[in-house]
Amino acid sequence: MRAFVRVIELGALGAGYALLLLAGLTTFEIIARKLFNFSIQGVDELGGYALAITASLGFGYAALERAHTRVDFLLRHLPERVRAVVHALSWTILCAQALFMTWHARGALSETLLFGSVANSPLQTPLWIPQLLWLAGFCIFFASTALMAGRAWRALASGVPGAVDLAAGNPSLDDELNSVMPAAAGRQR
| Bridge partner residues of 126 (DSSP) | 118
Report the distance separating Cα 149 and Cα 92, nearest Å: 5
Q: Which residues in 128-157 contact another protein (CB under 8 A)? A: 130-131, 134
Report in angstroms how near the CB of residue 27 gets to another protein at its nearest: 5
* Of the candidate residues 35, 38, 116, 187, the single one contacting another protein (CB under 8 A): 187
Residue 113 is a binding residue for another protein (CB under 8 A): no
Report the distance separating Cα 139 and Cα 57, nearest Å: 9
* Of the candidate residues 4, 55, 132, 139, the single one contacting another protein (CB under 8 A): 55
Residue 99 is a binding residue for another protein (CB under 8 A): no
Give the x-and-dash track for 58-77 against another protein (CB under 8 A): xx-xx--x-xxxxxxxxx--
- How many of the chain's residues bind another protein (CB under 8 A)? 79
Report the distance separating Cα 103 and Cα 139, nearest Å: 9
Q: Which residues in 22-41 contact another protein (CB under 8 A)? A: 22-27, 29-30, 34
Residue 106 is a binding residue for another protein (CB under 8 A): yes
Residue 84 is a binding residue for another protein (CB under 8 A): no
Report in angstroms how near the CB of residue 174 gets to another protein at its nearest: 7
Report the distance separating Cα 145 and Cα 42, nearest Å: 34
Residue type, 161: P
Q: Which residues contact 90 (CB under 8 A, 6 or more apart)?
A: 70
Q: Which residues contact 18 (CB under 8 A, 6 or more apart)?
A: 50, 53, 54
Residue 105 is a binding residue for another protein (CB under 8 A): yes
